[in-house]
Amino acid sequence: MPGLLKMVGLPDMPLLSVMLVITMIMLGAALLGWLADLLLDDSGFGTMFNTGILLVGAFIGAWLWHRYGVPTRFPAEAVRAAIATGSGLLLLISLAVIRP
């Protein structure tokens, strides 16, 4: 578990804190998936599938930023959260556009 946390840029935390962070991430992704389902209408994939796509895109974006990111003057956690959110939404929108 510590290796997975460090891979996405989270510090080594107690189990209760990890569960709280994962719950907050899941609730935020579910909320964004629901909003995306409302905005995309027929182009969307459904709330749960939208949430899954958002989580996969956010994980990939956070991992890539952690691995290849350019240093900025902003706090690293804020940049990583913005990159994860943006990459999740970018993946969802690009899949919605590509979908026939």
pTM: 0.76
41 or 33, greater pLDDT: 33
pLDDT score for 56: 92
Q: With contact defined as beta carbons under 8 Å apart, do 51 and 30 qualify?
A: yes
The conformational region for residue 14 under phi > 0 = left, psi -120 to 50 = alpha, else beta, is beta
- Is 80 exceeded by the pLDDT of residue 22? yes
pLDDT for 86-97, tens place per residue?
A: 998 899 888 888
Average pLDDT over residues 19-31: 87
What whole-number distance in Å separates Cα of residue 42 and Cα of residue 39? 9
